[in-house]
DNA sequence: ACTACAATCCTAACACTGTAAAGATAGTCT
DNA sequence: AGACTATCTTTACAGTGTTAGGATTGTAGT
């Protein structure tokens, strides 16, 4: 039975779980959150569908696991954003949107799409979202009176989240230089809009 | 065969199509976009599943129809926003978010969740989204140089869309007076944030 | 009014899905 | 070696969206 040459060693198959997650992630980005299917995942790994139940409690658990994995990478990339330590917010925003654009389906999954029932309320996923959010707040506390922080953080997160989703959905025709447009939009979070209020 | 007392008159059943749409919409808000099921819809109307195919080409077509219906109501409520004609943008933003909060699942459906394949690319739905967007742009043109309008419009839309989704997902604990927080956040679109750029 | 017709609805069936139960197969430990 | 446990498989069940073909009803034509 040499169905694969990866040598990761392990038990029977050559540690499944991760193979399932890898296949799931490929499928996710190939065909979107709604097309995540347990049988298709197993098919790609070359294994029978129910065998997945030795490693995951359900398809939702696989999706939740992907979401967690996504949040981990997300946090890494946000913290690695250039001059993040310097106190500038825009570079973090750009990294945020870069991640979403590089992993569109994963990003949508992380924010609830394709998760049916249980894992939509998943404590793990929700906690991870909140942790990312707390980082933004911490950055703002250095520069704003405490009572303005919540609204300011929500403002920044809404703007970035919304822009990311609109771009992912192909709803904004960014043309050739998307990053220029992104920078332009994010910069408005500093200056504001004339007579918008 | 008196399975219902609604007298809407019509053909055989007493115009299905709309009954299906009504049931679909109830189901949608009750159990979310992912739980939209043709068989369940038919069940609620008291009719056999395949009969829906005389009125809709597929389940996706039902979902797309709901989305269209949603956009229509959406546009109405946005235009009815107080002092919209006066040129203020914030009231429109509040109406935007009010709609999303009143019809959370429908709002998500309108922006792509739960639509598999075809209708995600649906021209009708996409056109409706664009039309709503053009209205925002038109409002901005009166107050900004032309070359700043696209970024400004995208800025406003991203902020509002993102805030709406975060609130819908229960990701922001708005507490008792959500509208106060909403107003506070939207107001920041006018003033901007110190040293955010 | 009676007939032809077209629209509407139904039952039966297909290919698919997620999941449960029970049996085969390999690796591990004493 | 033998017992045991973890892993994977076949089989089966209830559910889904969708298609094909037959029954039923309302509409139009003469």
Interface test with A, best of B155, B179, B182 (most A CBs within 10 A): B155
The number of folded domains in chain B is: 2
**Which of these, B22, B16, B84, B25, lies nearest to B51 by C-alpha position?**
B16
Q: Which residue of B has its CA nearest to A139?
A: B196
Q: Please say whether the beta carbons of B186 and B159 come within 8 A.
A: yes
A155 within domain boundaries: yes
Q: Which residues of B touch A174 (CB under 8 A)?
A: none
Q: Based on the domain organization, do B105 and B176 belong to the same domain?
A: yes
Q: pLDDT value at position A25?
A: 98
Nucleotides of C under 7 A from a protein CB: 7-12, 16-22, 25-28
Q: Based on the domain organization, do B151 and B89 belong to the same domain?
A: yes
Contact assignment for A158 to B163 by CB distance below 8 Å:
yes
Q: Based on the domain organization, do B18 and B73 belong to the same domain?
A: no
A86 within domain boundaries: yes
Average pLDDT, chain B: 85
Protein residue minimizing CA–C1' distance to D11: A50
B155 touches strand D (CB under 7 A): no
B197 within domain boundaries: no
Structure tokens belonging to residue B50 = 């395949």
- Using CB atoms within 10 A of its CB, is residue B5 exposed (0-12), middle (13-18) or buried (19+)? exposed
Q: Based on the domain organization, do B31 and B62 belong to the same domain?
A: no
Q: Based on the domain organization, do B113 and B36 belong to the same domain?
A: no
Contact assignment for B166 to A157 by CB distance below 8 Å:
yes
**Domain span including residue B49:** 8-56
Q: pLDDT value at position B22?
A: 98
Q: pLDDT value at position B161?
A: 96
Q: Based on the domain organization, do B68 and B102 belong to the same domain?
A: yes
Q: Based on the domain organization, do B48 and B75 belong to the same domain?
A: no
Q: Based on the domain organization, do B84 and B130 belong to the same domain?
A: yes
Instruction: With H, G, I as helix, E, B as strand and everything else as coil, classify residue B88.
Output: coil
Q: With bands split at pLDDT 50, 70 and 90, how would you rate the model's confidence at B41?
A: very high
- Tally Cβ neighbours within 10 Å of residue B168: 18
CA distance A154 to chain B (A): 7
Q: Which residues of A touch B86 (CB under 8 A)?
A: none
Mean pLDDT check: name the lowest of A73-87, A131-145, B59-73, B165-179.
Answer: A73-87
B12 within domain boundaries: yes
Percentages helix, strand, coil for chain A, rounded to the nearest 5?
65, 0, 35
CA of A26 to C1' of D10 (A): 27
Q: Based on the domain organization, do B23 and B113 belong to the same domain?
A: no
C-alpha triplet B133, B185, A67: angle, nearest 5°? 75
Q: Based on the domain organization, do B49 and B124 belong to the same domain?
A: no
B84 within domain boundaries: yes
Q: pLDDT value at position A8?
A: 44
Where do we find the tokens 């310097």? A86
Structure tokens belonging to residue A69 = 């994995």
Residue that wins the pLDDT comparison between B111 and A50: A50
pLDDT digits (tens, 9 = 90+) for B114-148: 777 666 667 777 788 888 788 778 878 888 899 88
Q: Which residue of B has its CA nearest to A36?
A: B116
pLDDT digits (tens, 9 = 90+) for B3-38: 334 444 445 677 999 999 999 999 999 999 999 999
B92 within domain boundaries: yes
Instruction: Print pLDDT tens along chain A (197 aa).
Output: 333 344 443 456 779 999 999 999 999 999 999 999 999 999 999 999 999 999 999 999 999 999 999 999 998 998 888 765 555 677 889 999 999 999 999 999 998 887 776 566 677 777 888 887 887 788 788 888 998 898 999 999 999 999 999 999 888 877 778 889 999 999 999 998 875 55
Q: Based on the domain organization, do B20 and B62 belong to the same domain?
A: no
Contact assignment for A197 to B190 by CB distance below 8 Å:
yes
CATH number at residue B31: 1.10.10
Q: Which residues of A touch B144 (CB under 8 A)?
A: 193-194
Q: Based on the domain organization, do B97 and B160 belong to the same domain?
A: yes
Q: pLDDT value at position A57?
A: 96
The alpha-helical segments, DSSP class H, found in chain B are: 18-31, 38-45, 59-79, 90-102, 104-110, 123-141, 149-168, 178-191
pLDDT of residue B87 exceeding 60:
no
Protein residue minimizing CA–C1' distance to D10: A48
Q: pLDDT value at position B196?
A: 54
CATH number at residue A126: 1.10.357.10
Give me the residue from A143, A165, A196 closest to B189, CB to CB. Answer: A196
Query: Where does residue A83 fall: left (phi above 0), alpha (psi -120 to 50 degrees), or beta otherwise?
Result: left
A137 within domain boundaries: yes
Q: With bands split at pLDDT 50, 70 and 90, how would you rate the model's confidence at B176?
A: confident
A145 within domain boundaries: yes
Q: Sign of the C-alpha dihedral, residues A148, A149, A150, A152?
A: positive
């Amino acid at each position: 039975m040499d169905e694969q040459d990866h040598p990761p060693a392990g038990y029977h198959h050559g540690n499944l779980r991760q193979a399932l997650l890898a296949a799931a992630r490929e499928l996710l980005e190939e065909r979107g959150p709604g097309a995540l299917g347990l049988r298709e995942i197993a098919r790609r790994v070359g294994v029978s569908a129910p065998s997945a139940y030795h490693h995951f409690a359900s398809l939702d658990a696989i999706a939740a696991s992907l979401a967690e994995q996504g949040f981990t990478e997300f946090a890494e990339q946000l913290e690695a954003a250039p001059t993040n330590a310097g106190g500038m917010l825009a570079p973090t925003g750009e990294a945020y949107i870069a991640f979403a654009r590089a992993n569109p389906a994963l990003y949508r999954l992380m924010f609830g799409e394709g998760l049916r029932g249980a894992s939509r309320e998943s404590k793990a996923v929700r906690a991870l979202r909140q942790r990312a959010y707390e980082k933004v707040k911490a950055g703002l506390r250095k520069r704003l009176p405490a009572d303005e922080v919540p609204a300011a953080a929500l403002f920044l997160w809404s703007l970035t989240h919304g822009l990311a989703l609109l771009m992912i959905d192909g709803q904004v025709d960014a043309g050739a230089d998307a990053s220029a447009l992104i920078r332009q939009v994010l910069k408005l979070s500093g200056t504001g809009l004339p007579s918008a209020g």
